[in-house]
């Protein structure tokens, strides 16, 4: 059985700043990490591998050459191989062009996959679109917002505990299928020193634009239906008024005036 886990390299959100002149994220000098929801997806895959025999895990990412770092992290955490989809022709891809490229890369690199696991969203874009789009492109059943993932005894169905507005539901889908993961274990997996050393011996394959069957006009910025014009932080809002060092009568007068101004009185 073959599981594919789609992952993404993202900037660490606590360090993200926006260039006020260009309206773009400042990535220089910002530490990049494995998207946390992608790490949840990988963790679910590793737990399936521990529970069932003959399961292999392929971690795949689309990005610049430095995205190799997150694949190495995935290998340390239990993936068996990494697949780096990288080419300048992929630059500027929106969610649709990204999903189209990843779907075709999966067809090319792991054509006999049984299950695809993805994070529900990336913390830098928060669109939650790529996973469902991959499922639609590949014609797969999809289950979103999974918090627990297991297989039936026959390994022909995936069973997912899914977050819904009123709580949780348990949903099954026939394989092959795609699951987006919103949560995992509270304590994340930490690789041992042996895992780190073994990861350096595992294979990381590279797929470029000429290796997938997609016309160049459908790749990257050319194949994108949307384009980010500007990124900006939300304006600061004054949400409260603090009264300090006032006599009781003066404070009461200020509160009365405020309530009257806001038409509460």
Residue 140 to residue 130: CA distance in whole angstroms: 14
Question: Mind listing the pLDDT tens digit for each residue in 143-159?
Answer: 999 999 999 988 899 99
Backbone angles phi, psi at 117, to 5 degrees: -115, 135
pLDDT recorded at residue 244:
86
Element at 172 (helix H, strand E): strand 167-174
The answer as to whether 21 is a domain residue is: yes
pLDDT recorded at residue 14:
66
The answer as to whether 244 is a domain residue is: no
What's the chain's length in residues? 265
The answer as to whether 40 is a domain residue is: yes
Residue 139 to residue 185: CA distance in whole angstroms: 30
The answer as to whether 134 is a domain residue is: yes
Backbone angles phi, psi at 166, to 5 degrees: -100, 5
pLDDT recorded at residue 25:
64
pLDDT recorded at residue 28:
67
Domain that holds residue 213: 2-218
CATH number for the domain harbouring residue 121: 3.40.50.620
The answer as to whether 262 is a domain residue is: no
The answer as to whether 15 is a domain residue is: yes
Which residues in the chain come in under a pLDDT of 70?
Answer: 13-29, 186-187
pLDDT recorded at residue 12:
79
What string of DSSP letters covers 85-120? E--GGGTT--HHHHHHHHHHHHHHH-TT--EEEEES
Backbone angles phi, psi at 100, to 5 degrees: -60, -45
The answer as to whether 84 is a domain residue is: yes
**Number of structural domains the chain divides into:** 1
pLDDT recorded at residue 22:
58
Question: Mind listing the pLDDT tens digit for each residue in 93-118?
Answer: 999 999 999 999 999 999 999 999 99
The answer as to whether 249 is a domain residue is: no
């Amino acid at each position: 059985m073959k599981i594919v886990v789609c992952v993404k390299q993202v900037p660490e959100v606590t360090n993200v700043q926006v260039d006020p002149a260009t309206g773009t994220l400042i990535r220089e000098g910002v530490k990049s990490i494995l998207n946390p929801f992608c790490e949840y997806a990988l963790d679910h895959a590793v737990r399936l591998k521990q529970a069932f025999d003959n399961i292999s895990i392929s971690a795949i990412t689309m990005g610049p050459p430095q995205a190799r770092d997150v694949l190495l992290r995935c290998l340390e955490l239990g993936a068996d191989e990494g697949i780096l989809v990288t080419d300048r022709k992929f630059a500027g891809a929106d969610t649709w062009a990204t999903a189209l490229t990843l779907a075709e890369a999966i067809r090319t690199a792991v054509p006999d996959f049984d299950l695809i696991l993805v994070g529900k969203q990336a913390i830098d874009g928060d669109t939650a679109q790529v996973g469902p789009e991959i499922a639609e492109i590949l014609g797969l059943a999809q289950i979103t917002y999974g918090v627990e993932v297991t297989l039936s005894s026959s390994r022909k169905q995936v069973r997912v505990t899914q977050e819904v507005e009123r709580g949780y539901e348990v949903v099954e889908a026939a394989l092959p299928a795609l699951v987006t993961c919103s949560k995992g274990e509270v304590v994340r997996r930490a690789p041992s020193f042996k895992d780190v050393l073994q990861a350096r011996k595992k294979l990381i394959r590279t797929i470029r634009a000429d290796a997938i069957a997609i016309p160049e006009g459908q790749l990257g910025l050319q194949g994108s239906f949307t384009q980010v014009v500007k990124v900006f932080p939300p304006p600061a809002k004054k949400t409260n008024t603090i009264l300090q060092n006032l006599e009781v009568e003066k404070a009461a007068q200020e509160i009365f005036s405020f309530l009257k101004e806001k038409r509460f009185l």
